[in-house]
Amino acid sequence: MGSAAILHYFAAILLAAAATDAPAIVVQAADSPVRLDQATVVTVTAAPPVLVYGATNATDDNVDEFTVIAFVFDAQGTLKARQTAPARRTLEAHTTKFSTLVLDGSPISAGDRVVVGVNQAQKVGSDRWWRAELQDAALAAVRPPKR
**Does any domain span residue 2?**
no
**What is the CATH classification number for the domain harbouring 80?**
2.60.40
Domain interval for residue 45: 19-142
pLDDT for 80-132, tens place per residue?
999 999 899 999 999 999 999 999 988 898 899 999 999 999 999 999 999 99
Q: What is the pTM of this model?
A: 0.84
**Does any domain span residue 94?**
yes
Q: Which of 73, 83, 70 is nearest to 112 (CA)?
A: 73
Number of folded domains that form the chain = 1
One-letter amino acid identity for 144?
A: P
**Does any domain span residue 1?**
no
**Does any domain span residue 33?**
yes
pLDDT for 58-67, tens place per residue?
999 999 999 9
